[in-house]
Chain A
Amino acid sequence: MTLLKTDHITMRFGGLTAVKEFNLEINKGEIVALIGPNGAGKTTAFNMITGVYRPTEGQIFFNNQEITGLKSHDITKRGMARTFQNIRLFKELSVLDNVFIANHLHLKANLLQAVGGKMYPDFLDKLWQPKYKREEKEILEKSYMLLEKVGLLDQKDEKATSLPYGLQRKLEIARALATNPQLLLLDEPAAGMNPKETNDLTGFIRQIREDFDLTIFLIEHHMQVVMDISDRIYVLDYGITIAEGNPYEIQNNQRVVEAYLGVSEDA
């Protein structure tokens, strides 16, 4: 079943065409990678899909519904979450709060119920518990579960920026998972990780796919990770899709090799 489909999406910034007629199809449960040299338009493609940019042309479908031009928060609500290339955590807030906030979009209590619920003393809970407090307890339990999954439960009260780089990446993933996504978009999850962390990452991504029944779409420069993990790969170069296929096909595709290494003189 197709989960995400883009139909000839194009993004132009003035005279520059960052992405041209990009066609993507991701099926449920797949891990799909998007690769390409620097400046190929990978993050632009991500930004169009997640609603940061509105594509100049073309349409995007998620779960067979058109999401072209919707705002990011609307798209996230429909079940798509992302991480960022240059980590964007809520820096001054605690690790726990970072994950807690990502649950906010599913909160049913309104503002008054939330403020009232917060004022309600704990020791009266046995008599009657406000709706908001029940919800908050569920959110906290879920947040603890997610933090345990990524191995950050012990650091839950620390400031997000005090974590080492690799753990900040994991926290970003945990935060994205808290929005209950069907599709998770990872923008260079291995960037800045050391070889050991990179090795662990592949297993970690497979693990969360199993545990949360996810479909994953990722941008990655680390070829070992990409070839190891992906079911299918799309290759972009100067905004144009130059190849599409499984890792074996991509590794042996002449145009991909040229895009990455350049054309040899005597070819």
Chain B
Amino acid sequence: MKKRNIILTISCIALLALFIWYADGSFDSYQKRILNLCAIYVILGLSMNLINGFTGLFSLGHAGFMAVGAYTTALLTMTPESKAATFFLEPIAAPLANITMPFFMALLLGGLLSAFVAFLIGAPTLRLKGDYLAIATLGFSEIIRIIFTNTQNITNGPLGLKSIPNFTNLWWSFGTMIFTLVVMIALINSSYGKAFKAIREDEIAAESMGINLFQHKVMSFVIGAFFAGIGGGLLGNLLGAINPMMFRFILTFNVLLIIVLGGMGSVTGTVISAFVVTSGLEYLRVLDESINLGFIKFEGIAGLRMVVFSTLLMIVVIFFRNGLMGTKEFGWDKFFNFFNRRPFSKKGVGQ
């Protein structure tokens, strides 16, 4: 990285930290929650984009990985007392009952376990291609959810977990978001990331150039699942209560919506789109309620805001097939080039 770009990036992060410090003190809990969700969806979007956008694997198993991360983190951070209170139908399995560890360790373990599950799922399914892979991963994600619904003494079954300590705050979510961003950008610009993109472009050519397809696909899948697990862990400890019904296909769809709108294969597109979609889903709640314009009164229709997003998705797919950014990125070099080559600037006319 160039020195100028590093300085600019660090100052941006400093500005963001300043903003978080301000927001942490003076925003109300509703606004803070939306900001937290935005950051978490950035993490989820990036992790899914690595698999779907950069490596070109059409995987729909994200909710499953998030569930693994969320449950692991939640179970490892809950106090023994709250565990005893939550598991009233059937007591929790012995070793889990007394384990409580710091949030960081729990998040990391959640991510690692999710990555491990992805490894187990990836080994058979990544031999499939296209829609077959989509169906198989979707199936596995549902299997994970069904298992969680039925393992009463580990996950408390359909009742879910309650009184999970609210460790996730703006610092945690935005800190993890920045970490994910930095790792993802470094990864996709490295030789490995370029190999991922080569697989997306042409599998046969990539293999002929000596890239071990299966090994690299598993790599991308496992890294994606690791960050999905961390995102899930943050989400669980933000909401304070989780149950298996949360991790249905609709959750995968929300993340997919973000990466399709932002551009499959664009990190910056994912970040922008995650903020727009997540805050949009909250602020468009107005549409679900009844609107009184004075002379006319609309009855509220529950779920109307989802119609807005479905329409938006349709428009994007028809008219902007590559989403907001396509595979392009926004970066400091581009930013300065944009100002340097304005046609009416003296430089442009003079030459």
Residues of A within 8 A of B (CB): 50, 52, 71-73, 76-77, 81-82, 84, 88-93, 97, 100-107, 109, 111, 114-119, 121-123, 132, 135-136, 139, 175-176, 178-179
**Interface contact A73-B189, CB-CB below 8 Å:** no
User: Which residues between 185 and 200 of chain B lie within 8 Å of chain A, taking CB atoms?
Assistant: 185-187, 189-192, 194-195, 197-198
A-B CB contact pairs (8 Å), 7 listed: A52-B208, A72-B208, A89-B202, A93-B201, A101-B206, A114-B190, A121-B6
Known contacts A90-B201, A93-B198, A115-B186: A102-B209 contact under CB 8 Å: yes
* Sample of 9 further A-B pairs with CB below 8 A, known A109-B191, A132-B190: A72-B204, A81-B208, A82-B208, A88-B205, A90-B205, A104-B191, A104-B211, A121-B6, A132-B191
CB distance from B185 to the nearest CB of A (A): 8
Interface pair B205/A136, CB less than 8 Å apart: no
Check if B198 sits within 8 Å of A90, measured CB to CB. yes
A100 to B196 Cα, complex, angstroms: 13
Contact with A along B201-223 (1 / 0, CB 8 A): 11011111111110000010000
Interface presence of B301 (CB below 8 A):
no
Give the shortest distance, in Å, between A113 (CB) and chain B (any CB): 9
**CB atoms of A88 and B219 under 8 A apart:** no
Over the window 57-90 of chain B, the binary record of Cβ atoms lying under 8 Å from chain A Cβ atoms (1 yes, 0 no) is: 0000000000000000000000000000000000
Given A119-B186, A121-B6, A100:B202 Cβ within 8 A: no
**Cα separation A97 to B206 with both chains bound (whole Å):** 12
Residues of A within 8 A of B205 (CB): 84, 88-90
A73–B2 CB distance below 8 A: no
Which of B190, B201, B204 lies in contact with A117, CB distance below 8 A? B190
Query: Hey, which chain B residues are within 8 Å of A97, CB to CB?
Result: 194, 197
Instruction: Judge whether A72 and B207 touch: CB under 8 Å.
Output: yes
B11-63 contacts to A (CB < 8 Å): none
Asked if residues A103 and B3 are in contact (CB atoms below 8 Å), the reply is no
User: What is the bound-complex CA distance between A117 and B195, given in angstroms?
Assistant: 16
Q: Does B349 contact A (CB under 8 A)?
A: no
Closest beta carbon of chain B to A104's beta carbon, Å? 5
Known contacts: A91-B202, A101-B198. The answer to whether A136 contacts B191 by CB under 8 A is yes
Instruction: Report Cα–Cα, A111/B188, bound state, in Å.
Output: 11
Q: In the assembly, what is the distance between CA of A101 and CA of B201, in Å?
A: 12
Alpha-carbon gap, A115 to B194, bound state (A): 12
B99 CB → nearest A CB, Å: 28
Q: Which of A92, A100, A179 interacts with B210 by CB under 8 Å?
A: A179
| Contacting pair A77 B210 (CB below 8 A) | yes
- Please give the distance in Å from A244's CB to the nearest CB on chain B: 27
Instruction: Give the residues in chain A near B190, CB-CB below 8 Å.
Output: 114-115, 117-118, 132, 136
Complex: chain A residue closest to B2, CB-CB:
A122
Q: How far is the CB of A176 from chain B (nearest CB, A)?
A: 8
B254 on the A face (CB < 8 A): no
Residues facing A in B222-254 (CB within 8 A) are none
Partner of A101, one of B187, B189, B211: B211
Q: How far is the CB of A78 from chain B (nearest CB, A)?
A: 10
Residue of A nearest to B185 (CB): A118
Q: Known interface pairs A90-B198, A119-B186, A179-B210. Does A114 touch B191 (Cβ–Cβ under 8 Å)?
A: yes
Residue of A nearest to B183 (CB): A115
> Is the pair A76, B210 in contact by a Cβ cutoff of 8 Å?
yes
Q: Which of A52, A114, A135 contacts B204 (CB 8 A)?
A: A52
Chain B residue contacts of A103, Cβ below 8 A:
191
Residues of chain A contacted by B197 (CB below 8 angstroms): 90, 92-93, 97, 101
| Chain B residues within an 8 Å CB radius of A139 | 191
Give the shortest distance, in Å, between A118 (CB) and chain B (any CB).
Answer: 4
Closest residue of A by beta carbon distance from B189: A118
Report how far A27 CA is from B191 CA in the complex, Å: 34
Closest-CB distance, A239 to chain B (whole angstroms)? 22
B327 at the interface (CB under 8 A from A): yes
Report A156 CB to chain B, min CB distance, Å: 14
Q: Is there an interface contact between A50 and B208, defined as CB atoms closer than 8 Å?
A: yes
Q: How far in angstroms is the closest Cβ of chain A from B52?
A: 15
Complex Cα gap A122–B7 (Å): 12
Q: A178 vs B204: C-alpha distance in the bound complex, in angstroms?
A: 17
CA distance A135 to B191 in the complex (A): 10
Question: Is the pair A73, B212 in contact by a Cβ cutoff of 8 Å?
Answer: yes
Contact A101 B3 (CB under 8 A): no
Of residues B187, B194, B205, which shows the largest number of chain A Cβ atoms within 10 Å of its Cβ?
B205
Q: How far is the CB of A81 from chain B (nearest CB, A)?
A: 7
A180 nearest in chain B by CB position? B210
Question: A175, B209: Cβ atoms under 8 Å?
Answer: yes
User: Hey, which chain A residues are within 8 Å of B191, CB to CB?
Assistant: 100-101, 103-104, 107, 109, 114, 132, 135-136, 139
CB neighbours of A104 from chain B (8 A): 191-192, 194-195, 198, 209-211
Tell me if A121 and B3 are in contact (CB < 8 A). Answer: yes
Q: What 6 pairs across the A-B complex have the smallest Cβ distances?
A: A105-B210, A118-B186, A76-B210, A90-B201, A88-B205, A114-B190
In the bound complex, how far is the Cα of B145 from the Cα of A178, in angstroms? 46
Docked-complex contact A71 and B194, CB < 8 angstroms: no
- Min CB distance B341 to A, Å, is 15
Q: When chains A and B are docked, how far (Å) is the Cα of A121 from the Cα of B1? A: 5
* Cβ contacts under 8 Å, B219 to chain A: 111
Greatest chain B CB density within 10 A among A89, A92, A139, A176 is at A92
